[in-house]
Structure 1
Amino acid sequence: MNITIMIADDNSFIREGMKIILSTYGEFEVLITVADGKEAVDYCQIHQVDIALLDVRMPNMNGVEATKILTEKTKTKPIILTTFDDDEYIIDAIKNGAKGYLLKNTDPERIRDAIKSVYYGNTVMQDVVLDKIKSNMTGTSKTESKVDASLFTEREMDIMTLIAKGYSNKAISKELFISEGTVANYITSILSKTRLEHRTQIAIYYLTGSVE
């Protein structure tokens, strides 16, 4: 069964070009291309779409707003595909449930890999996007976090701090002198308490104190 895709971009050249590129891969089926976020949402609420590639800046409804509705009301997994690597859009898109955030100048093979990775339940953020998030965390200490620390153990707060600074599970385990399995258990506990879905959202939560 092919992975079904919808492309939303107000630039017809870009959306049709992306359709041509993705259609060359046998595992994808591009169902439709649309010009704004509202059209994207309307289509996905009626049809079964696995992946929605969404531009950020579109008329009627932007990609960030569309991401929120798609996440809440459909099974479609949104990936933001944009030329705008703006901090505000990155944070809002991730908080709204985006499963990926890629720049349009990304190599087609990497876009292909990202779509497949998201389809199979992973979250994909390009290095430039993660760097934006981490740059917001530069110098942030545990006491400066907007998280309500009373909701978490001291160890969970330590782990959230390191996640927000870009540490991998392996790096966290070395930093805190605990096993990677223990790190994973703590992350599972954090996700359960916050009702978040993945590590990148934990970083945003740590920074903003909000899961909305």
Structure 2
Amino acid sequence: MKQEELIKIMIGVAKGIAKVEGRDTEVAVHDLHEMQMVFIANGNITGREVGTRMDKSIYKMILRQSDDDGHMIAYRTMSEKGKRLRSSHFIIRDEKGEPAVLICINQDDSKLEELRDYINYKIHVNTDEECSPGDSGGNIIQNVAQNAIMNSIWKMTTGDLDTKEGKITLLKELKRQGIFDVRATTPYICKALSISQTTLYNYLREIKNEGEDDSTPLRLK
């Protein structure tokens, strides 16, 4: 199947998703051969439009963090206007198994969150987040690291994650957020940046030597 035909089919799928989910859900289709957006519905949510170039660092992060099916589901991101979004990505591969199309879904859950808060208030539900018996500690930790990494990448305006400088810029932001105080996040961060734990430790030491860190010792979990 030609790239143009695949894109046409995926745009049809994206239109259907947008109709089902409604106006609070943005659905975009990216041509990964040209690395640009070819379709978007409800683009007012992020302010993007057709023709927007795809950021190479974000694309590579999606490739690293997606599951075996090429899916990255329901992680937190933030729009340029500071709006919290629930985002998902689906990588569509061609007949040769190469990434060809990316479907991006950004959902504005603010109305649902307001409704949830109202219901919790009315019925006096304890809203403290607790782990259910079926929760996996590893999954929770992975989500914490993944969300922090993706949110920080969306905020980055300088630095490419393919460079040492870009990686250090991201690590400074993650350290500022206290991500390294969360146990067992280090392996996920190393995977996302394609670096070893030794390299990560060296980068963090450089940050400390630059005076970007406080006086507390480095703690790799």
Q: Which has the higher strand share?
A: 2
TM over 0.5: no
Q: Which has the higher helix share?
A: 1
Q: Which TM-score applies when normalising by structure 1?
A: 0.29
Choose 1 or 2 for highest CA Rg.
2
